[in-house]
């Protein structure tokens, strides 16, 4: 009879050590997700969340700013849970959880447990991924598809004898890329990354000679049909905006690039940004290793496009975030295992400098980000350090999540009063997509955007519909963040202004300007 090994053997001790580690990490991650769920169910919507929620109220095949996935998902959840924070944010939260799980598993496949823990902590607690990761926007479903497609591709090309078949890999990639395209166009940048990896890996080049990569491409194209159909029906506004208008019209400007670079340091935090940069450099230096070549090929297209972009055109600082998400795995490996280039030790394993550097920034930014929602302390701190300064409610970012339900009740009441007094029900309007979206959320009514600036609202407001509004009265909304005189944006006989102020814990939080305007005669600005 074979004697079982003692629990005191090194192998068993290491086994139980890993088991305890896994349990602790699981508990930590679950508690963090519970906290995030509680947080997301108790604060108001940010502007873009209200914008995307409003899409779900009038479902389309696609939309001007982005494809339709987030609206389709929210249409399902708000049908089940109503127009509540749960109904709006549930799709983003579930996608965020899925992203964390898949990236954790992929990091373990590529490197080790400690690297995976590092990645999980960053995703859950960094200001960029942790705070914005589950916002109700196109990003969460896009990031889930981005990470899921990367995970599937690695399963198809791994070299440890556990690789998926070419057929299975590319059918799943076709599905995930198609769903991703219906979330955000940036996922298309994974496709050249897949091609680069196959071409750079002699043992995988033969995959390109099989029909399956092209079957995957066909599947993705078919699933993306709603995007093409909607744009065709509306004279291609989304394609013009995403692939031309956003990338032209600005002159070469090194200063704009420096601002972009500063935003990267802010979003990632400086120590983590250095680790991400080291991961990208390491992926090039160690490209002979399959796992590092995988990171290089899948992130190179995004880095090559979005880093030069600010030199010649306007940009969004989060566009490179998808590439950073994959490079986090390399950063985790550097933190876990250290980094040696040639004979030179660049980073020690679990370096205290990087551990404390990343941790301190995360803790400080988490406190700054979250505590104002619990209590509005920033105005008091401002007065303490600048007693003679003039406080503006816009200085406190947490104020932007508040007040819109109060505004909605105020506007709906005024609309009923005006209707009863005049016999004519005024329509509701605003001049920017942010105010239009938030007023729609607050009132739960259709709100018209009175501006020549293009948004999904203006694309969907037909000339006939706008012409039918002429001669009618309106309630026009603006805020202290986006002030506007309705007489400058449209032709009216006249407008009367009312001011609504909202408060948090007795402290002034928002100022809304509500105008009653008579006889709409068309947009002028």
User: How do beta strands 339-341 and 344-347 pair?
Assistant: antiparallel
The model's pLDDT over 465-518, given as tens digits with 9 standing for 90+, comes to: 999 999 999 999 999 999 999 999 999 999 999 999 999 999 999 999 999 999
Cα–Cα distance for residue pair 449/482, rounded to 1 Å: 14
Residue 252 burial by CB count (10 A; 0-12/13-18/19+): exposed, middle or buried? exposed
Q: How crowded is residue 446: how many other Cβ atoms within 10 Å of its Cβ?
A: 14
Any idea what the Cα angle at residue 473 is, between residues 520 and 475, rounded to 5°? 105
- The CA-atom distances, in angstroms, between 207 and each of 110, 156, 212 are 21, 10, 8
Any idea what the Cα angle at residue 130 is, between residues 358 and 335, rounded to 5°? 35
Q: Which residues pair with 479 in a beta bridge?
A: 512
- Whether residue 223 contacts residue 179, with contact meaning beta carbons closer than 8 Å, is answered with yes
pLDDT band for 416, please (50, 70, 90 cuts).
very high
Looking at the predicted structure, is the pLDDT value of residue 464 above 90?
yes
Confidence (pLDDT) at 380: 92
Sorted by where each begins, the domain ranges of the chain are: 10-368, 400-518
* Both tokens assigned to 210: 């099989």
Cα–Cα distance for residue pair 138/69, rounded to 1 Å: 7
Residue 112 burial by CB count (10 A; 0-12/13-18/19+): exposed, middle or buried? middle
More confident residue, 128 or 300: 300
Of 16, 36, 10, 27, nearest in space to 89 by CA: 36
Looking at the predicted structure, is the pLDDT value of residue 2 above 80?
no
Looking at the predicted structure, is the pLDDT value of residue 242 above 70?
yes
Q: Which residues pair with 5 in a beta bridge?
A: none
Cα–Cα distance for residue pair 121/6, rounded to 1 Å: 34
More confident residue, 130 or 252: 252
Site of tokens 């890996």: 201
The model's pTM: 0.92
Site of tokens 């078919």: 222
Q: Where is 479: in which H helix or E strand?
A: strand 474-479
CA 318 to chain centre: 8
Cα–Cα distance for residue pair 235/267, rounded to 1 Å: 36
Confidence (pLDDT) at 498: 96
Looking at the predicted structure, is the pLDDT value of residue 50 above 70?
yes
Mean pLDDT, rounded, of the chain = 92
The model's pLDDT over 140-176, given as tens digits with 9 standing for 90+, comes to: 999 999 999 999 999 999 998 899 999 999 999 999 9
Of 522, 422, 517, 519, nearest in space to 472 by CA: 519
Cα–Cα distance for residue pair 40/45, rounded to 1 Å: 9
Of 144, 135, 203, 139, nearest in space to 175 by CA: 144
pLDDT band for 29, please (50, 70, 90 cuts).
confident
The DSSP annotation for 289-341 comes to SHHHHHHHHHHHHHHHHHTTHHHHS---TTTTHHHHHHHHHHHHHHHHH-EEE
What is the mean pLDDT of the segment spanning 441-465? Answer: 94
Confidence (pLDDT) at 19: 58
Q: 285: Cβ–Cβ under 8 A, 6 or more apart, which residues? A: 292, 341
Phi and psi based region of residue 487 (left: phi greater than 0; alpha: psi -120 to 50; beta: remaining): alpha
- Whether residue 463 contacts residue 520, with contact meaning beta carbons closer than 8 Å, is answered with no
User: How do beta strands 447-449 and 427-430 pair?
Assistant: parallel
What is the mean pLDDT of the segment spanning 327-345? Answer: 92
Cα–Cα distance for residue pair 222/243, rounded to 1 Å: 21
- Whether residue 470 contacts residue 383, with contact meaning beta carbons closer than 8 Å, is answered with no
pLDDT band for 431, please (50, 70, 90 cuts).
very high
Any idea what the Cα angle at residue 239 is, between residues 236 and 240, rounded to 5°? 80
pLDDT band for 4, please (50, 70, 90 cuts).
very low
């Amino acid at each position: 009879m074979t004697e079982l090994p003692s629990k005191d053997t090194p192998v068993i001790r290491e086994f139980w050590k890993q088991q305890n580690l896994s349990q602790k990490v699981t508990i930590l991650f679950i508690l963090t997700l519970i906290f995030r769920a509680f947080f997301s169910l108790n604060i108001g919507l940010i502007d873009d969340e209200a914008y995307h929620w409003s899409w779900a109220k009038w479902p389309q095949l696609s939309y001007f700013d982005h494809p339709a996935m987030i609206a389709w998902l929210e249409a399902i959840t708000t049908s089940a849970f109503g127009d509540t924070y749960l109904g709006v944010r549930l799709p983003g939260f579930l996608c965020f959880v899925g992203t964390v799980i898949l990236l954790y598993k992929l990091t373990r496949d590529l490197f080790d447990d400690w690297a995976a823990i590092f990645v999980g902590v960053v995703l859950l607690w960094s200001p960029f991924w942790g705070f914005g990761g589950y916002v109700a926007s196109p990003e969460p479903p896009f990031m889930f598809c981005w990470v899921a497609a990367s995970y599937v591709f690695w399963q198809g090309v791994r070299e440890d004898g556990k690789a998926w078949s070419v057929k299975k890999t590319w059918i799943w990639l076709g599905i995930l890329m198609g769903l991703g395209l219906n979330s955000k166009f940036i996922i298309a940048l994974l496709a050249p990354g897949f091609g680069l990896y196959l071409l750079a890996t002699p043992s995988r080049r033969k995959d390109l000679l099989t029909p399956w990569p092209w079957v995957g491409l066909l599947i993705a194209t078919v699933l993306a049909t709603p995007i093409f159909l909607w744009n065709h029906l509306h004279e291609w506004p989304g394609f013009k905006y995403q692939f031309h208008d956003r990338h032209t019209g600005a002159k070469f400007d090194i200063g704009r690039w420096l601002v972009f670079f500063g935003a990267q340091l802010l979003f990632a935090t400086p120590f983590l940004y250095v680790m991400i940069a080291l991961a990208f450099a390491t992926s090039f230096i160690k490209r002979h290793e399959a796992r590092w070549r995988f990171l290089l090929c899948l992130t190179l297209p995004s880095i090559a496009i979005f880093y030069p972009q600010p030199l010649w055109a306007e940009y969004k600082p989060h566009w490179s975030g998808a590439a950073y998400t994959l490079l986090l795995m390399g950063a985790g490996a550097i933190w876990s295992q250290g980094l040696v280039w040639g004979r030179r030790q660049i980073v020690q394993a679990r370096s205290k400098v990087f551990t404390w550097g990343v941790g301190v920034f995360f803790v400080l930014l988490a406190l700054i980000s979250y505590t104002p929602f619990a209590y509005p302390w920033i105005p008091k701190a401002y007065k303490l350090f600048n007693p003679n300064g003039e406080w503006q409610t816009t200085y406190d970012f947490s104020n932007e999540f508040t007040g819109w339900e109060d505004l909605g009740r105020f506007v709906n009441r005024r609309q009923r009063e005006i209707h009863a007094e005049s016999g004519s029900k005024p329509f509701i309007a605003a001049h920017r997509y942010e105010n239009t979206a938030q007023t729609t959320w607050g009132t739960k009514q259709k709100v018209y955007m009175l501006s020549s600036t293009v948004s999904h609202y203006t694309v969907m407001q037909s000339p006939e519909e706008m012409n039918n509004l002429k001669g009618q009265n309106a309630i026009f909304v603006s805020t202290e963040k986006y002030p506007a005189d309705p007489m400058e944006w449209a032709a009216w006989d006249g407008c009367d202004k009312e001011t609504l102020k909202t408060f948090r814990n007795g402290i002034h939080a928002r100022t809304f300007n509500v105008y009653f305007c008579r006889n709409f005669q068309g947009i002028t600005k």
